[in-house]
């Protein structure tokens, strides 16, 4: 394609639809009318000879071609934004910064590998240190600046800590592809009959799936408790057990461990993922840039 013949405003429309998975939300983000955004998408579809997005009950789902295009387009728009802002903002392309982020298994497996790969292309001198939550005093470390960011299922209820929901997640179940008992849909009876690999949790909370089952008077047959999500696909890959975990993580493990995904046979609400930081970092241009990019990236997953 000859780039000179392409209206670059169409890339802004593509990026907004990809981020929001909705034409109406993209229109509000861009301060345009919905017909204008729809028309722009039609023009881009024609130029690229690809539908780019399929309308479903879950929103505008990107095609494989759109997924390939999304990161290069986002990188290009970020670089253009930097150039247009001038020298008063954070010079991410040449800045040498070290950020410490606290995550649990979900963020470490689903979010950070792709985000750091993107970051390496646009800001190659920025370094991340990933730390587990464990038993640290996270509120104190955020306030004192020894930790920059936290990515977790729960907001931090502490004075001075900012929390923003960067994505919502659902649950999915996994079995091995050649499971002798699972030849079709996993209904509730089969779900209860199978033995489960379960993530160990503290005594203060219970997994959403167990809360939903308990409301109906049921419980899972727990075969093994594991300390990390990463143990789950390894456990079920060569056994007849089943595991239930966040959907994006399930997709990742399904692709890499040749596992089969199944909808959870219960109505379970989606749950949020929060990005947290201390207000002391609000005026730090570098910190502001990295958290905005990470929040934006999460919304695009």
**CATH number of the domain within which 53 lies:** 1.10.10.10
> Does one domain contain both 190 and 119?
no
Question: 84 lies in a domain?
Answer: no
Question: 75 lies in a domain?
Answer: no
Q: Which CATH number goes with the domain that contains 230?
A: 3.40.190.10
Listed residues 48, 65, 82: the one ending a domain = 65
> Does one domain contain both 222 and 278?
no
Q: How many domains is the chain built from?
A: 3
- Residue 204 is predicted with a pLDDT of 64
Question: 212 lies in a domain?
Answer: yes
Q: 228 pLDDT exceeds 50?
A: yes
Instruction: State the pLDDT confidence band at 70, using cuts at 50, 70 and 90.
Output: confident
For residue 134, the enclosing domain spans 90-168+272-299
Q: What percent of the chain has a predicted confidence (pLDDT) above 90?
A: 62
Q: 277 pLDDT exceeds 80?
A: yes
Question: 80 lies in a domain?
Answer: no
> Does one domain contain both 205 and 290?
no
- Residue 236 is predicted with a pLDDT of 95
> Does one domain contain both 23 and 145?
no
Look at residues 248, 202, 244 and name the one whose alpha carbon lies nearest to residue 108: 248
> Does one domain contain both 164 and 182?
no
Question: 78 lies in a domain?
Answer: no
> Does one domain contain both 161 and 211?
no
- Residue 79 is predicted with a pLDDT of 73
Mean pLDDT of 211-227: 94
> Does one domain contain both 117 and 128?
yes
> Does one domain contain both 232 and 262?
yes
Evaluated on CA atoms 98, 101, 105, 106, the torsion sign reads: negative
> Does one domain contain both 124 and 237?
no
Question: 225 lies in a domain?
Answer: yes
> Does one domain contain both 136 and 151?
yes
Least confident span in 139-153, 202-216, 252-266: 202-216
pLDDT of 241-270, one tens digit each? 999 999 999 999 999 998 999 999 999 999
> Does one domain contain both 163 and 51?
no
> Does one domain contain both 56 and 104?
no
- Residue 86 is predicted with a pLDDT of 53
- Residue 133 is predicted with a pLDDT of 80
- Residue 91 is predicted with a pLDDT of 83
pLDDT of 98-118, one tens digit each? 999 999 889 999 999 999 999
């Amino acid at each position: 394609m000859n780039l000179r013949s392409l209206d670059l405003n169409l890339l802004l429309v593509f990026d907004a639809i990809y981020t929001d998975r909705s034409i109406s939300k993209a229109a509000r983000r861009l301060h345009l009318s919905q017909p204008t955004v729809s028309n722009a998408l039609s023009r881009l579809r024609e130029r690229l000879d690809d539908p780019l997005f399929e309308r479903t009950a879950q929103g505008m789902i990107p095609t494989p071609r759109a997924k390939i295009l999304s990161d290069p387009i986002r990188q290009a728009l970020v670089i253009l934004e930097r150039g247009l802002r001038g020298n008063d903002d954070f010079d991410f392309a040449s800045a040498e910064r070290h950020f410490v982020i606290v995550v649990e298994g979900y963020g470490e497996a689903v979010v950070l590998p792709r985000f750091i790969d993107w970051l390496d292309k646009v800001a190659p001198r920025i370094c991340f240190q990933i730390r587990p939550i464990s038993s640290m005093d996270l509120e104190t470390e955020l306030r004192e600046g020894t930790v920059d960011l936290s990515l977790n299922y729960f907001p931090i209820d502490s004075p001075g800590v900012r929390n923003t929901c960067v994505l919502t997640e659902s649950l999915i179940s996994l079995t091995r592809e050649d499971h002798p008992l699972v030849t079709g849909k996993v209904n509730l009876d089969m779900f209860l009959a199978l033995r489960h690999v379960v993530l160990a949790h503290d005594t203060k909370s219970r997994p959403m799936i167990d809360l939903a089952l308990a409301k109906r008077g049921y419980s899972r047959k727990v075969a093994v408790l594991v300390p990390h999500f990463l143990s789950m696909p390894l456990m079920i890959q060569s056994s007849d057990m089943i595991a239930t975990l966040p959907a994006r993580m399930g997709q990742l493990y399904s692709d890499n461990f040749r596992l089969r995904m199944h909808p959870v046979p219960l109505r379970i609400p989606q749950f949020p993922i929060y990005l947290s930081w201390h207000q002391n970092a609000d005026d730090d241009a570098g910190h502001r840039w990295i958290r905005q990019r990470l929040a934006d990236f999460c919304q695009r997953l």
